[in-house]
A and B are shown apart, each in its own frame.
Chain A
Amino acid sequence: MAKLKETFKLKPVYLFLTALAIFLLALPQFGGRYLTYIVIHVMLLSLLGLSVNLLLGYTGLLSFGQAAFCASGAYGCAKILLAMDSPSLLAGVFGGLLIAGAVALVIGFLCVRHTDIYFAMLTLCFGMMIYSLALKWRSMTGGDDGLVGIPRAPLEIPGLFSINMSPMENYYYFVLIMTGIAIFLFYRLVNSPFGLSLQSIRDSESRTAFTGIPVRTYRLIAFVIAGLYAGLAGVLLPPLENTVTPPIAHWSYSGEGVIVALLGGIYTFTGPIVGALLFFVIKDVIMRFTEYWLFWLGIIVLALVLGLRGGVVGAIQRKFLPKMTL
């Protein structure tokens, strides 16, 4: 107990994390359906932001194609859930993730041999190819109508347990757990030897190669992992909305991932998570006053990105917590 007290005294960040965990766990009890629904979306956008940041902040690659993996996961999950006689949420989620990972592997193989603007443009092109498929391959994707009637299947392992996901709060807890696990794994990843390798590639590709690291292979692995994170953001969406439509594959959705990463801070771990929260708060507040919310959102995001070098978290870290890694 004494040790626990000492830890909390030394690291107020633990207090903050504990308070945040309590808030998130209790949210469905006091927040109502709308807030619960919005927080699910914040979590999904956080995952997309983390996906972008693994490439941009940690590996030095700007991708405008993360929506493609989000869409691959979402459509994959939706097709699996629609095809099953008795749909299983886990089958849909992990099947969708597998598809997103496979698509990321193929696109990544073709993209990671390039860097800078060439990489950005290639990911944009491949992303829009996936968007075109979602829009035009009507027999598979439902075209611009998308896929509808996707069930929020129960979370079950036959013979072990089955949890009904129809109530929003149950699905919220599922998304919270999945996001929590994903964020924890992301933290371990970026602080591991592999994470250090990615950061070194970001700083100097040639120097990294001269430490004996195969740069292209590492970039491809990072690309696939980033694809899986975007895919996770995608697979969790159809059971929530009961539908999936082509805009999820559009480059502007990839752009949202880039914006939240920049907003929060690309050289920070928590930046994309804070960025996703800010994005939704700003969007929600502005939408109450004007239908031209995108215009005002653009101005605010621009001011924050230009005014706060390194994003919101980066600025806080520099100003108040220079010795801490946020």
Chain B
Amino acid sequence: MRVARWGPDLLLGARMALAGGRSGLVRAALTALGVGLGVALLLTAVSIPAMMQARDDRGAARDDLSYEPPIPQADNTVLVGWAESRFGDQPIRGRVLRPEGPRAPVPPGLAALPRPGEVVVSPALGRLLASPEGALLRDRLAYPVVGTIADEGLLGPTELAFYLGSDDLTATDGMVIRRDHFGEVNTREGLDPVLALLVVIIFVVLLLPVGLFVASAIRFGGESRDRRLAGVRLVGADVGMARRIAAGEAGLSALLGVAVGFGLFYLGRSFVGGISALNISVFPSDLRPDPLLSLAIAVAVPAAAIGVTIMSLRRVVIEPLGVVRRGGDAKRRLWWRLVLPVLGLALLAPLTGSLTQESGTLNQTQVTIGVCLILVGVATLLPWVVQAVVRRLRGGPVPWQLAIRRLQLDGSTSARAVTGIAVAVAGAIGLQMLFASVEGNYQASTGQDPGRAQIAVNMVLRNGWTDVAAIEARLRDAPGVLGARSYSSAPLTFPASPEQRALGGEDPMSSLTIASCDTIRELTEASTCADGDVFLVPDPTRPADETPAAGTTVRIRSYDDVAPGAAWTLPTTARTVTARTDPGGGSLTGVLATPSAVPAAVRDGLDTYQGYLRVDPARADVADQVRNAAWQVNPLGTVSVLSRFVETNRFTQIRRGLYIGAALTLLLIGASLLVTMLEQLRDRRRLLAALVAFGTRRRTLAWSILWQSAVPVMLGLVLATAAGLTLGTVLLRIVNETVSVDWGIIATMSGLAAGVVLLVTALSTPVLFRLMRADGLRTE
């Protein structure tokens, strides 16, 4: 019987959600918008696996790396040269293609291979080349653009990529691979356990506030709803009916919110193609929410709305005579609020020391539930903390008194509004601690020394040492280049010693490097050097007999290791010196010789150019100027800006994801706070007008409203910091890292959250001042 009553009551509530004229519609629209924003974010979250999969699939389909043995030239092969480049801080994926027969494969996204000297570009690169900003890049890619790479050949819509046709690319020009097809090799690293933990926590930290936001949005317009319910009681509804009617109202608003959320998601999806965040972009078609999870969202949000409404009405006494009396802000119990975080800690504690980068299996369920419980604990503890603290506050100036008394009377509304911020901050602090600590593991020290040189250039030589002077001159001519040191190298072999032969060893390999005396002094500890000198630089990590001795006849090996190289007997005057770390972080070993010491045939066999450039740091485009100069010599050359550290790719991507997600979450919470505050102000319109009537200053009320938000936010931040530090400590113990606290991060997160409150207050102040007009006193 009672169940049978639910249907009509819920339906009546649903009808009432849209009743009440303009204010009713505004209320329903605000709720639908709030819930819709949350739903849109949830849909985005459940689209991420499919989005990553689609990017990976396209990346794998165009992959031209091969770990297979080299294949012979045939009519179905193509030479693929890697011409990776950058423009400013944007990476450019470039490939030079030379078909070796009529059946040469075509990469995905291309209708046909470009003809020699012609280029096919991605839409984003096409736009960049056509724009004034791309002027410098036009100098590099000065080829006729004959086509556009289709979506299936790109990772994302803003990716910069090109395919350049060639008829003179050879296998020895640099990073050149012969392929008879594209794709099938998946180079995905897979997440190690620690990174997997980070990803799980990021999802929890970002999605939990969204859930709280949705729960908060469902309560928009709560006070006017209570007045409506009192009216329903007056005409004969009992308490149960009133609650079911309220649940129906919330259910319909949430359903509208789900519809709005799906609408916002698909609307936003159509614009996502034009957005690039930190060099990551996605095609609208990649954002495909998982159907089952989408269904779960569509069902769970209205169900949660009904549940939250019924819960929130537990302590509200709805009486028929238009009066709604709350049962008072009853003293909250602490014990069950502590159970959640304690349970969370209990779940995470056994995992202490269980993960390292190399080993361990992440129990995702246990970690997710543990972290969730700790963070939900923040949400449940906050109302208790707010109540316990504000009930002890007394005195103070009028704005403070008004705010504190409001919080004493009903602190839960404000506490609820800031719960999202507190949870986000707690999660972010925990996460940042984990990041800061494991960051060192994922930041490889390059050993590079930007103090000695800032840019390194590396490319294959076609004519040996003869080319070096011309290349260096061209690089020196690039605007912003202050100086250059160059050398040229090639591998060499020399006869094995009798001992090595006895052990069945092959002829040892070493390398020959030709450089000027200035460069040799830069690369070795040689105290003196004159043209004609030869130096032997042993590799301290290898046996001594792997470095040729003076008087040994060595033979240059060609790049493709097919044609026999020229031979040269090392002079007996060759001196042994120790290597010095070069600006690129490496050290040259083997034979180092000045140019005149080496026979011309050997010099001509050198195949690698390496240059270190000193550049003007004040010139922002210097790296692109050097890239342009290097491109003119060999498009497959590499130009690197030297840096002491480099982050591994996965870590960078995860951190980018966190920043993007945190920004979205904070914006969402800010919107929630704003709506809540505007609703509170609207409900107090008459009181505000009355206060103004007897002379209350505007700033008094403005300060009162600021305090009313700021006090719970401050308490929330204190709680969030404590919870965040606890969470961070536990997580660091799981991954076996030393616990250390970065107070700067805590200050930043707290500052950001406080900034959101100030922004919300600033945005709501005009409304406050409007509501303080005498219109609010009119009763007719």
**Same complex:** no
B residues near A (Cβ < 8 Å) are: none
A residues near B (Cβ < 8 Å) are: none
